[in-house]
Each structure stands twice: as C-alpha cells, then as structure tokens.
Amino acid sequence: MNLGTRTAALGRRGGVDPDVADQLGFTVHDVVRDLRRDVAAAALPLPIEGSEEAEASRRRLLAQLDEHLLPRLAELSSPAMVVVAGSTGAGKSTLFNSMLGEEVSDAGVLRPTTREPVLAVHPHDAEVLKPGPVTDLARVVHHTKVPRGTALLDAPDLDSFLSANRTTAHQLLEAADLWLFVTTAARYGDALPWQALGRAKERGASVAMVLNRVPRETLTTVRGDLSARLREHGMTDVPLFVVPDVGPHEGMLEPALVAPVLRWLTLLAGPDRSRTVILRTLKGALGALPDWVTSLADAVEDQGDAARRLRHTVDMVVPDAAASARRTVTAGTAGGTSIAARWSELVGTAALERVAVKDGVARSTRRAGRVREQALAGLRTEVEAAAQRALVAASARAEERLVAALAGPGAPAGGASVLPPGRERGARRDVWAESSVGEWARLADDVAAGLGTPPAAARASAAEGDPASEGDRDDVVHQVPDLSEAPRAEGARKAFGPSGLAALLLAAAVGNSDAERLLDRVLGDTASEAVAVLRDDLAERAAAAVAEEARSVQSALEVPALADDAAAPLRVRLAELRRLT
C-alpha cells in the first residue's frame, strides 16, 4: 500500500485504515507527531563546526512540521492551501485581486502593501476550512471566484523590510500545499526566487511560477531562459505562467491576462482533485524528511563526539592539578609569612613559649590559659584566612590549566563554551573555600578535644558537636593515637584552652614551625601525628578545590543533549519514516 493510499485512508476515516494499522502498527500522523517531539527536544549546545547550520535546519524542520505537516495530516478534508508569494513589487496582490475580480487585498505602489495576509475561500468550503496556523495569521474572506477545494492566500513580501512581515511570509509558505511564486522579468534572476524555490524543493512542496510584467517583445526569450533555469535546478515539472507587461496602471489586470492561472487552479478544484495536490505535497514533504532527520541526527552525534573529547581533556588536567595542590599543602607552605608575623606578635604579648612543662605535662592556671586562648583567636583567624587563600589559589591554578586546555591554542572544538564566566567562577570559588575551611577548623576543634580521650568518649563528643558529621570526624579521631598519658592532653588544653590548642594545631598544619615545636613540648610525639591529620585533610580539600573547579565544566558536559545516545530518538523516527516512504 503506497503513501497516497495510506494518507487518503487516514483522511477518509479521520483515523487509521484497519489494513494500514495492521501492516504498520502506527499512523502517519503518529510518526510525524513523535518526530516533532524529538526534533523539538534535540539540542546542539556546543558551538562546533556546522552547529549553526544544523540548528537553523532544525528550526526550519520544526516550522514545516508545525505549520504544514501536522495540521494537514490532522485535517485532510480542509481545502488545498495555495499561497501567493514573492518579492517586493512582484505584483502578488494585483494578481490575487485580478483572479478574484475584486479588490480584496491592498495593492499599490506603497510598500509594503500587504500588511495583513488575506485568505480567500469559497463559501461552500467555509465549513471544512479548519482553524490552524494560516487562519490564525490571516484575515479570512469568502469569495465565490475561489475554485472549490482550494483556498487562496495573499502573503506578505518574502523580502519585506519589516521583519514581522518576512517572518509571517515564511510561516505561511511552510503551511502551503502549493506555492504560487510570483516574480518579474526584471528580477527572476535574483537570488531570492531561487532561494525560495530551493526551499520548496527541499521540503517537497508543490510549486507553480508566475513570471509577471514581461515585455511582449522579449516574452519568448525570457520564458525560454526561465524554463532553462528551472531545468538546471531540477524543477522541470513546475508550471510556468507568463503575464505580459501592461505598463503603468492602477487596479486589477484584464481577466484574459490571469485566465491561464485561474484556469489551472480550476483544474485543481473540487475535493477529489485538490486532494491530489495535497497528497502530492504531503508525499514530497514526507519523502524529504529522512534527509533532514539524518542531518540533524548526525549533528547531534557530532555534539556527543565533541563532548567526549572535552571530557577527556578535562580528565587529563584534573589529576595533575589535584596532585600539585596536595603537594603545596603537604610541603608546609600554605601559611605564608602572615602566620609567622602573627606568631611573633604573640610571643611578645602572650608568652606562649614560656609555658612551663614539668614531667612532660604543661603547667598553667586556667585563668592564664583563658588569656592565651583569647590571644590565639587572632592567630586562628589568620590561619583560616591563609588556608582559604590556599584553596582559592588551588582553584585558580586549576582554572588556568582548564582555560589553557579548553580555550587555548589547539584546544578541542567547543571548549571555551563550557567554561563558566570568570565572575561567576570567582564568587563560587570564594564561597566554597570559606565553607571548606570552616569544616577544617571544626575538625581541628574535634581533634583537640579528642586528644587523650578514649575512642568511645571521642565518638560521643563528636556526635554532640554536629551529628551530621559524626562519621567523618570519628574517622579522623581514630587516626590520632590515644595518649597513654592523659594528663598531657589535659595540661595542654588547660594551658591554651580548647580553642587555643586547636589554633596551634591549625597553625602547625599550614607549616608554622614555631607552633609545631610548641606542640611537641606539650604533647610529645602525638603532636606531629595530630598535625599530620589536619595537614592531610587540608591537602585533600585543596585537591577537592581542583575537582570543584572542574565540576562546573563537567556538569556542562553531562547534559542529555551530549549523551552518547542523544541521537537515538531521531534514529528511531528515521527508521519509521523510511518504512512510510
């Protein structure tokens, strides 16, 4: 059963012919509706070679589906839509009015004359003219001169200087069953007529051509030249009508001049004969779809290939950048000179290094410990700021590597487009670093509080502080050996206060040797192990800063449009279309 039979069966019954349903399992309308959904869902986010052209083609395909194929498949009984189209000054409205024998559409020298599309339909066809894209855009008039089974539409200029008119004209052409293209002897060689005819051929539309205002003395020559051009463009079956030049005039043309066009339209008239035009255009449009869908599916797969190359590039950058960030912290250089300067101030004002140690235990009153704890608060603030700068610097260095790899010389196509804006990156980086350092400092509080504490008690202490982080902190506490001499830990907390002891641990973790020597005096060998726990944790946070920097790029590449199977729905629709055609 051929396409015309299947489509006609669909139109007769308002549904699917049972034989067709048994054979195919779906209707033509179902296939086109599903195709429309998947074309609309297709996206081409990476600006790689050919993506702009593919996106323009995708939009044209959507327009054809929305403006013509779906409405026409849903209402095959509606009159055949004949759109009178052309360039500025071609005489479209004059031809339109002349065929109807009445001034229905504005015509004249003022441009643009056709500001509002006019759709003329025979009164007896009014009931079968269904609402759709054309009736939404045009003023509908009933006229007895319109051949039965057809509807004549006077469209705006395709090259109107008003963008809204151009948009409307192209929308109406997409909705047409037949393009009646009007040009002149002076302009038929311009690019616009051939672009429009090529577009009609691309979507499989039926076309007729009116060559207007041809000087009688060159009529034969011009007609022969235009016919030759049509053959060159593979359009040998396009009906060609020639209207002689009548010189300056106002109003309609003589009936004899437009009679061939009107007679030809009348030959198409009547529900059965006009249905032939509809089905021929439908068949052509459906037959053209596979090439369109193939090109779009190929473009979607090209996007996926580009995304894989970009992911690979990011994957090559991140490990080295993360390892470099870890080394910076574990080398003990994260603190910088600001911590040493702050320590020098404290040595003179808080007498930190003069804390008495007897039998390995720090000796101090609680009052003196509170004074030292308050003094160490400034050191803690400075250490946290230095750690935050270290994480931001790790992120910034990772950004530099990513930018060089994705947007520098030799970068993969589309790389620059997945990099977030610099301002956005900076703001997000600062927020993340501040939050991460806050967690690191709280971990130091837990470590300081857990030194010399039995594991069960340490777990309870961690749980009381922040239940949501119990597991993470408990793991760290277990990495710090329990002091066999509990008095050493208690003495250190008494001498510096819990927060002050945490500040010393943090300062030592970022590389301050003075803080580390003091901790060795009051805690012994356990001090270095506790500092190592915090230093390793900060090193992992620096590596995490690199991963966080890459995550925004990776998330831009982990969208459905760039998935390996993104083109699969289009390939399924393509297979269905090929079964239809």
* pLDDT of res. 134: 85
Return the CATH number at 231.
3.40.50.300
Cβ-based neighbours of 518, under 8 Å, separated by 6 or more = 352, 353, 355, 504
Structure tokens at 376: 């160490």
* pLDDT of res. 115: 66
Between CA 89 and CA 182 the distance in angstroms is 10
Q: Over 60: is that where the pLDDT of 17 sits?
A: no
The rounded radius of gyration (Å) of the Cα atoms in the chain is 40
Cβ-based neighbours of 318, under 8 Å, separated by 6 or more = 398, 546, 547, 550
Which residues are registered as beta bridge partners of 208?
180
In a domain, 33, yes or no: no
Domain with 164, as residue range(s), is 77-259
In a domain, 211, yes or no: yes
Mean pLDDT of 352-369: 77
Long-range contacts of 428-434 (CB under 8 A, 24+ apart): 428/552, 429/392, 429/395, 429/396, 429/545, 429/548, 429/549, 430/392, 432/391, 432/395, 432/545, 432/548, 433/388, 433/391, 433/392, 433/395, 433/545, 434/388
Tell which wins on pLDDT, 427 or 135: 135
List, for residues 381-398, the tens digit of each pLDDT value.
999 999 999 999 999 999
Mean pLDDT of 24-49: 87
Between CA 495 and CA 139 the distance in angstroms is 91
* pLDDT of res. 273: 65
Between CA 72 and CA 176 the distance in angstroms is 9
Which residue, among 53, 76, 57, has the nearest Cα to 202 in the 3D structure?
57
Count H helices, E strands: the chain? Answer: 22, 9
Q: Over pLDDT 70: what percentage of the chain?
A: 85
Average pLDDT over the chain, rounded to an integer = 82
In a domain, 190, yes or no: yes
Q: Over 70: is that where the pLDDT of 354 sits?
A: yes
Which residues are registered as beta bridge partners of 214?
244
Query: CB atoms < 10 A from the CB of 108, how many?
Result: 10
* pLDDT of res. 457: 40
The residue with tokens 């950048």 is 321
Number of domains in the chain: 1
Between CA 183 and CA 188 the distance in angstroms is 6
Which residue, among 210, 244, 216, has the nearest Cα to 230 in the 3D structure?
210
Strands 118-121 and 139-142: parallel
In a domain, 474, yes or no: no
Element (H, E) at 361: strand 361-363
In a domain, 160, yes or no: yes
Stated length of the chain: 581
- pTM value is 0.69
Q: Over 90: is that where the pLDDT of 350 sits?
A: no
Tell which wins on pLDDT, 140 or 18: 140
Question: Using 50, 70 and 90 to split pLDDT, how confident is the model at 298?
Answer: very high
Question: Using 50, 70 and 90 to split pLDDT, how confident is the model at 411?
Answer: very high
Contact at 8 Å (CB) between 160 and 112? yes
In a domain, 111, yes or no: yes
Strands 356-358 and 361-363: antiparallel
In a domain, 216, yes or no: yes
Tell which wins on pLDDT, 269 or 468: 269
Question: Using 50, 70 and 90 to split pLDDT, how confident is the model at 28?
Answer: confident
Q: What is the DSSP letter of 511?
A: T
Structure tokens at 319: 């490990």
Question: Using 50, 70 and 90 to split pLDDT, how confident is the model at 496?
Answer: confident
Q: Over 80: is that where the pLDDT of 353 sits?
A: no
Q: Over 60: is that where the pLDDT of 477 sits?
A: no
Q: For the ranges 172-176, 347-351, 408-412, 568-572, which has the lowest average pLDDT?
A: 347-351
Contact at 8 Å (CB) between 510 and 387? yes
Q: Over 50: is that where the pLDDT of 463 sits?
A: no
Cβ-based neighbours of 510, under 8 Å, separated by 6 or more = 329, 332, 334, 335, 339, 383, 386, 387, 390, 535, 538
Element (H, E) at 28: helix 28-41
Between CA 20 and CA 211 the distance in angstroms is 43
Between CA 464 and CA 470 the distance in angstroms is 9
Residue 205 phi, psi dihedral angles, 5° rounding? -80, 150
Mean pLDDT of 338-360: 76
Cβ-based neighbours of 296, under 8 Å, separated by 6 or more = 39, 42, 54, 57, 58, 61, 570
Tell which wins on pLDDT, 205 or 465: 205
* pLDDT of res. 581: 66
Q: Over 60: is that where the pLDDT of 8 sits?
A: no
Which residue, among 237, 236, 258, has the nearest Cα to 246 in the 3D structure?
258
AA identity, residue 271: P
Tell which wins on pLDDT, 153 or 206: 153
* pLDDT of res. 507: 93
Structure tokens at 102: 């009445």
In a domain, 501, yes or no: no
Omega before 112 cis (within 30°)?
yes
Tell which wins on pLDDT, 468 or 334: 334
Q: Over pLDDT 90: what percentage of the chain?
A: 37
